[in-house]
Amino acid sequence: MARHVFLTGPPGVGKTTLIQKASEVLKSSGVPVDGFYTQEVRQGGRRIGFDVVTLSGLRGPLSRVGAGPPPGTRECRVGQYVVDLASFEQLALPVLDAGAGSSPGPRVCVIDEVGKMELFSQPFTRAVRQTLAAPGTVVLGTIPVPKGKPLAFVEEIRSRADVQVFSVTKENRNHLLPDIVRCVQSGGK
């Protein structure tokens, strides 16, 4: 039976919006929810990058267009975006570790997203594996649609027996929320 829930679909289809709505529903029903999501950063109507935003409200850069990496660090680039690994790890890693064994009963850990930018971080990959294996933790996350050469770690998640993957489309995105919440709530039991 599936314990973890991941959403997949093309960029801009509404995966992050669904994750945010599901998090609110779960929190309001008393389920401890922690984690992070990624958010577009726009300037003058143009996307210039992405930020990592924790559910507790902390925010920092994940990537920016054309910016060089911080001095003394290797450049991690996805298309026109340069990934700020230090900022990402500083925000994402603590929320993945935060709930491990801290409270009785199930907790939900939001991981939006496990994609190319995030996978430059080996500590992140290790933390996601540990979170998926942690008893009492249900992961609610997003993974990209496979295109071109598949990302090995994403395919590892997609093929796990304890993962339910929902494909989000423009046609179904407004109807999936109850199914996602139900699946997450039953995953921790």
DSSP type of residue 16 = H
3-state DSSP helix/strand/coil % of the chain, to nearest 5: 30, 30, 40
SS3 string, 71-116, reads CCCCCCEECCEEECHHHHHHHHHHHHHHCCCCCCCCEEEEECCCCC
- For 153-164, what is the mean pLDDT? 95
- Render pLDDT for 67-88 as a digit per residue (tens, 0 to 9): 666 666 677 888 899 999 999 9
Q: Is 84 left (phi over 0), alpha (psi -120 to 50) or beta?
A: beta
pLDDT of residue 181: 93
Domains and CATH numbers, the chain: 4-38+88-188 (3.40.50.300)
